Every structure is written in structure tokens, then in C-alpha cells.
Structure 1
Amino acid sequence: MSTLTKKAAPVQPSLNAEPGLLQQPKAVWAVFFACIIAFMGLGLVDPILPAIAEQLDASQSEVTLLFTSYNAVMAIAMLVTGAISSRIGIKWTLLCGIVIIAIFSALGGASNGIWALVGLRGGWGLGNALFVATALAAIVSLSNSGTAKAIILYEAAIGLGISVGPLLGGWLGAMSWRGPFLGVACLMVIAFLGLTILMPKATDTGKVAKPKTSLADPFRALKHRSLLVFGIAAALYNFGFFTLLAYAPFVMGLKEHGLGFVFLGWGILLAITSVFMAPKLQARFGAIKSMCAMLFLFAVLLICMGVWTSTQWVVITSVILAGAVLGNNNTLITTAVMNAAPVERSTASAAYSFLRFIGGAIAPYTAGRLAEIFNPQVPFIVGAFFVLVSVVFIWGNKKHLNHVDHAGH
């Protein structure tokens, strides 16, 4: 009898430990596919930035405001996502975000002026804030394979969305710059249906038992030095990230299809490294060392783009290679943030994202203005400077961050 008991005992733990990255509940896959579609929206717009400038008679800096308004509203809205989701539940927060994105992207496709488009992109940012912050928390909480693997899954969805988006955007944008905006609206309808059908109501049952999140919680979370450091570092490196995303299309000298293929390559490398390479780097060298190395390489690529701005193949190659270092860094820093402080994951995500998207809001317009005032090289050099500052900042606060490698997964 004791022998049977001994043999039977290990079976249950092994079953609990069994689920891998791909063995997830339906609810996780519903959010995963909705994430792909949501992040396709970001990449869809990229190949049409020069076309929008030309057809709406707008300057480069005015067109970059499409990213600035989007990220600025997203940053502020991140502060209320926790309060909203703790009251109406994960599922309804995700669905509300999707509906808002669909409405504002459709209105954007019907607009006739750059300033109307900039304002409508801000509304799109509100919807994305509700969706993105909640989606990360949803995948982490619903996953049965641990925090680290759940975050890899989330980053994979981002990578897939960002990589496929430009290709679709280039194809639709070649017909009309309005195509990608209307395309996003249609894709959001598909995401809405998918979540409505596949995500069970049971995912929201915990919302009554849990204390409701207040608007002050993200600010309280930033009192934790580690979370504050990661947030400020992300704001700094996002300056380089969105300089590349919002301004590089103007210097490559490519039409919509060509830009779509360049950012497809960028997104594919981002997806592959975020899933397969980042966990290996973290396991071997630790999150902080790996993060600093990736950010340093990103700064080098931006410097190359700044020095050889007029050499098309250098800019294109640098953009594509940047996908690899950014894919690694995104997974490394997102995993670190989830383990940085003893606060709710949704609150940590909101606090971190608030700071992160402030950098993303300032960078695009700044890049456009620097190019107009000086020359097309300056935005990339300035972007590289901010990324290097983020490396110094992370390394200078290393003693407050080392614990993230030993936190539970």
C-alpha cells in the first residue's frame, strides 16, 4: 500500500508542472490572437506615413504627431486601466478597448485633414491603453505555465502583430492611405467576436473578491525604486524606439510596399528573439546585463543610421537588425517589471507603461522637428543618446534591480 502511495504521489505534481508555453487555456489564446490584431494596428500605419504627408499636405513633424497623440493619450490612460478593470472585469475592459480602437480607426479612415487624424489617433490610444495593459495582466493571470512563459507568449503576440501589420499596411496603403485605418477597424471587429466567444465569463469572477484598484495605486507603485528605474529607463529607450518607428520611413526612400517589407523583417526578428533568444540571454547572463547589452547595440544601430542616413541599404539593414535587439529587450524588461515590486501585476504594468509611453509621446514629434531645423541625421543621433543614457541609468541602479532574476516565475 505504501509502495502504491509512493508511486502515485509524484504523479499530481508532475501533471501540474507539465503545461508548457503552447499548452494554454482557450481564454489565453483568445487574448493572444486579439493582441496580434491590436498590435497589427501599430505596424499598419507605418508604411503610409510619407503618403499621408504628401496627400494631406502635411509636414513630416505634423505626421509624426500621429504617434505623439497616440502615445500621450495612452500614457495618461494607463493610469486608469487598473481602476476600470477592477470594477468591470478583465473581459469587459478588453472588449471596451477593442470597440474604442475600432471606432476611432474607422473615423480616422474617413477624415480629411491631418489635425483631425491626429486627434482621432489620440482616441485610438485610449482604446489601446485599455486593451494593452489588461491583456498583459490577463495572459499572466490566466496562463497555467508561469509568469515568464506567459510574458514570452504576450511578446510573441506583439511581435507577430507588428511584423504582419506593415505588410498588410503596405498593401492596403498602396491603394489609399485610408485603407490601413479602415483595415484596423475591420480587424478589431474580428478580435471582438473572438474574445466574446472564446473568453469565458469565469475570468471575471475574481473581480468581486479582490479590492478595487484606485487611481493612486500606480503612483504608489512607483515608490518602489526598481519599478521607477525600469519605467524611466523605458521612457529613455522608447525615445530611440519611436524615433526609428516614426521617422525612419521618411529617409528610406521607399514606397508603401517597400516600407511594408522592411518593417516586416523588423517585426519577424522582433518576434523570434522575444520568444526564443531573450529567455536564453536572461538564463545565461541575467536580465540586467542582457538588457544593457541589447540597448547598447540598439544605440549603435541608431548611430549608424545617423551617420549614413543618405545610404539607403545602411538605414534599411539597421532598421531590420534593430528588431532583433528590441525583441530581446522588450521581453527582458517586461519580465523584469512583472517581478520588480510586490504590487498587483496590472498595477505594475500600468505604472511602468505610463512612464514608458511618455518617452514614446515626446520622441516622434521631436524627431520630425529636429530634422526640419537641422538635418535628417540629427534625430537618430539624439535617439541614440537617449538610449545610451538609459543604459547608464540602469547600470547605475543595478543594486536595486538584481532581485528580478531571482523572483518567482
Structure 2
Amino acid sequence: MTTTPTPPTAPGIWRQPAQVWAVAFACVVAFMGIGLVDPILPAIAESLEASPVETELLFTSYLVVTGLAMLVTSWLSSRIGAKATLLIGLALVIVFALLCALSGSVDAVIGFRAGWGLGNALFISTALATIVGAASGGSAAAIVLYEAALGLGIAIGPLVGGILGEVSWRGPFFGVVALMAIAFVAIVVLLRTPNETRTPTALSAPFQALRQPALAVLAVTALFYNIGFFVLLAFSPFPLGFGAMGIGLTFFGWGVALAITSVWVAPLLLRGMRRTTAMMTVLPLLAIDLVLAGLFAANPGALVVCIIVGGLLLGVMNTILTESVMEATDQPRSVASAAYSAVRFLGGAAALTILLGRKALARVDAHRADAAEEAAAVLVGDAA
């Protein structure tokens, strides 16, 4: 009697080499940095005798430098290699987070946050390519790992910031130093890139990509959209009036909402709706949510609801923009993603841009992006 042999099963998504987990852990920490500072903004303002405007510059300096650095990260990593780029990025974050923790003035913290942004740009622009190259199970496994890291980091960041911020406003910065140091050692020890192929990228490549109309329209849209994103993230802690833990729990909910809609809701929505239609639906809803947040700013309960709803809308919009960027240009996807992200980090919120530029965006409604390349753009674009 003969039996039919059982076909070998594919490696489980969560059964990955140690080097993949090292980079994935570092990704979680990097994404935690998005909201880690949020719960301590009022405490920083009080302790360092800074105005809310001065305190908001902690985000401004970080984002401007991150955006500008995105224009050169592909050029650098294509020459020195992925591991070296990852380690330089992590080292810069460690150094500048420590300097933030030791600072005695808000101006110093603002300056050191700029250096933090440079390190983060170098790290996040390289991390997913490293995971894709080393993950078992192909690009699908790499994407799941990335999405898990993104959601976990965005959700946990404000919560950790709130817990450590209850002790001191310096606590979250010291927390980043410790976690990034562990990630640095893990990558040094575990990451192996013996067969890494380097194809130098031209320094002008991102600028050439922005000359294509569809990508330019999306970049300008993201410029304005990000104003809404960071008004909700960076300004809301002040009118809430909560302590560090209360703000941390609020933005933990915001991060969970953003992660859920980014990973699960947006793909379902796009099955029955064109991308441009989806963008012109979500952006006005986000504008309404921000208006309501302004009207109810004096009511903490209502403002919390607006923040959570905003997280739901932002998650959907992040994914739609990312998928659109994948089909917006004939340039390599990593170059298009970097160019788009560089512009996006500089700003703000608009459905009108999509409406006026809809003709140029015809190609983004007609194609579906390759999954691995889509994830690469998400990694770069969502690390604001």
C-alpha cells in the first residue's frame, strides 16, 4: 500500500532567522519614537519654561531633517551597504536621544531632535529592504512583520512615553537610548549580509521622480495632509489637560486605531473604490474631525473621541497614499517613495489637490502595486 507523501509546509511567518527579529525589533523602537514625546510635551513646556509654540518645534525640527535626509539615504545606502546604514542611523538616534535627555533648555532639545531625525531617516529607509532579503516565506512574510512592527510601535510609543513621563520628562528620552542600544547590539551580532549587491543610486534620482505629474500631485497632497496629522498628534496634548499617563493612554488608543485601519480596513475599502475617490472621501472627513476637535477642545472627553476617530481616518489615508505612490511613476519604487516622503514630512491637509490633479493621477487607479514594493513605501512614508 502506497501513501501520498505530505508536501512540505512553508515556513511560518513568525519562524524567522534571528537577524530578521533584530531588525524588526529596531523597527518597533523607531516607530515608537513617533509618539513617545507626545505625553511629555506639557511637562517639557513647564519644566523648561517654554511656550507651546516652542515645544511644538520638537516635532518640526525632527520632521524637516527627516524629510531632507530622505533625499540622500538611498544614495548613501547603495554605496556603504544596508548594515552600515542601519548602524549609523541607530547610533545617531542613541546619541541625540541621550543629548535630549541631558538638555537644560528647550532650544537644545529642539536642536538635538533634528539630529534624531537624521538618524531615524537613515534607519527606516533601509530596514524593510533588509527584512525582505532575510525573511523566510518571501515578501509576504516580510510585509506582515513590517505591519506588525509599525502597529506595535505607533501604539506602544505614547504608552511608554506616558509611563516614563510620570517620573520625569527626561524619562522617555532615556528609554529610547536604552532600547536603541539593545537594537544596535542585536544588529551588530545577528545581521549578516555576505551576498549584498550594491547598485549605486544617483543623488538626483528623487528630484527626477518628482518631475512626474502623478507623484508631484501626491507629494503636494501629502504635504498638506501631514499638517492635519501632526496638529492632531502634537497639539492635542495641550488642550487635553491630562497628565503624562492620561495623554499616553489617549494616544495609545489613537495608535491602535491607526494601525487597525491601515492594515485591515484600507485594503477592504480599496476593493470596491478607486484610490482617488477614496482619498477625496477620507480627506474631507478628516477635515471635519479636526474642526470638531477645535470646537470641543475645552471638553476633554469629546476631544479624546475626536483623536481616536482621527486615528481611524489617518490609518486609511496613510495606506491609500502609499499604494498610490507605488503606481505614480516609472522610477524605481524606493526612489519614488523617498522623494514623496521628503515632501510629505514638510507639511499638510488637502482634498482640493487631489481634485485638481485627478487627471494626472489616472494611472494610480489603474494598477495594483507589488506587495513588497508597497511595503517599502509604507515603511518610509509612515515614519513621520
TM tier, smaller: 0.7 to 0.9
Counterpart of 1:266?
254
2:304 is equivalent to residue 316 of structure 1: yes
- Please tell me whether residue 39 in structure 1 is matched to residue 1 in structure 2: no
Aligned residue among 94, 97, 101 for 1:109:
101
1:29 to partner: Cα distance: 3.7
1:334 counterpart letter in structure 2: T
* C-alpha contact (below 8 Å) 1:137/1:345 kept by paired residues: no
The answer to whether residue 297 in structure 2 is matched with residue 301 in structure 1 is: no
- Separation in structure 2 between the aligned mates of residue 227 and residue 148 of structure 1, nearest angstrom: 26
- Which structure 1 residue ranges, 5 or more long, are not aligned? 1-6, 364-385
Q: Which residue of 2 is the match for residue 368 of structure 1?
A: none
With over 3 angstroms needed to count, the CA separation of the structure-2 counterparts of 1:43 and 1:167, relative to structure 1, is same
1:85 — aligned with what? 77
Aligned residue for 2:376?
Answer: none
Return the alpha-carbon distance in structure 2 between the equivalents of residues 332 and 136 of structure 1: 19
Local SS of the residue matching 2:272: helix
| Cα distance, 1:214 vs structure 2 | 2.0
- Name the structure 2 match of 1:192: 184
C-alpha spacing 1:229/1:20, structure 2 compared with 1 (3 Å): farther
Q: Work out the CA distance in 2 between the residues paired with 1:295 and 1:142.
A: 37
Q: 1:230·1:333 contact (CA, 8 Å) conserved in 2?
A: yes
Q: Which piece of structure 1 moves more, 19-28 or 288-297?
A: 19-28
Change (3 A) 1:98 1:237: same
Report which stretch shifted further, 297-306 or 109-118. Answer: 297-306
Aligned length: 367
Instruction: Give identity over the alignment, percent.
Output: 47
Look up the equivalent residue of 1:263 and give its one-letter code.
F
- Per the TM alignment, residue 147 of structure 1 is displaced from its structure 2 partner at its CA by 6.2
* CA distance in 1: counterparts of 2:317 and 2:132, whole angstroms: 19
Instruction: Indicate yes or no: 2:161 matched with 1:169.
Output: yes
Name the residue aligned to 1:406. 368
- What secondary structure is seen at the aligned counterpart in 1 of 2:346? helix
* 1:206 alignment partner, SS class: coil
Matches within 5 A, 1:137-152: 137-139=129-131, 150-151=142-143
| Corresponding position of 1:343 | 331
Q: For the residues of structure 2 that align with 1:152 and 1:295, how far apart are their CA atoms? A: 27
**Is the contact made by 1:292 and 1:395 (CA closer than 8 Å) also made in structure 2?**
no
Q: Corresponding residue for 2:196?
A: 205
What is the aligned counterpart of 2:350 among 383, 387, 407? 387
Question: In the alignment, is the contact (CA less than 8 A) between 2:276 and 2:354 conserved in 1?
Answer: no
CA RMSD of aligned residues (A): 2.5
| Aligned AA (2:157) | G
Q: C-alpha distance in 1, partners of 2:212/2:312?
A: 30
Consecutive unaligned residues of structure 2, counting only runs of 5 or more, are 372-384
Name the structure 2 match of 1:240: 228
Equivalent position SS for 1:75: helix
> Cα gap change, 1:298/1:198 in structure 2, threshold over 3 Å: closer, same or farther?
farther
Indicate how the Cα distance of structure 1 residues 168 and 301 shifts in structure 2: closer, same or farther if over 3 A, else same.
same
Q: Distance in 2 between matches of 1:149 and 1:398?
A: 30
Matched, 1:281 2:244: no
Q: Distance in 2 between matches of 1:141 and 1:337?
A: 22
* The 10-residue stretch of structure 1 (188-197 or 136-145) with the greater mean CA deviation from structure 2: 136-145
Q: Does 1:251 align with 2:243?
A: no
With over 3 angstroms needed to count, the CA separation of the structure-2 counterparts of 1:21 and 1:55, relative to structure 1, is: same
- Is the Cα contact below 8 Å between 2:325 and 2:364 reproduced in 1? no
| Alignment-mate amino acid for residue 368 of structure 2 | H
Residue deviations 1:105-138, cap 9 Å, x none?
0010000001011000000000011112222444
8 Å CA contact 1:79–1:218 kept in 2: the answer is yes
Contact 2:323–2:369 under 8 Å retained in 1? no
Shift of 1:152: 5.7
**CA apart distance, 1:324:** 1.5
Q: Does structure 2 conserve the Cα–Cα contact (< 8 Å) formed by 1:82 and 1:347?
A: yes
Alpha-carbon spacing, 1:299–1:397, altered in 2? closer, same or farther (3 Å) = farther
CA distance in 1, matches of 2:277, 2:137: 25
Q: 2:28 matched to 1:75?
A: no
1:406 and 1:77 map into 2 onto residues whose CA distance is 28
1:285-330 per-position Cα deviation (integer Å, ceiling 9, x unaligned):
2433333333232222111112222122111111112111212222
CA contact (8 A) 2:214 2:361 kept: no
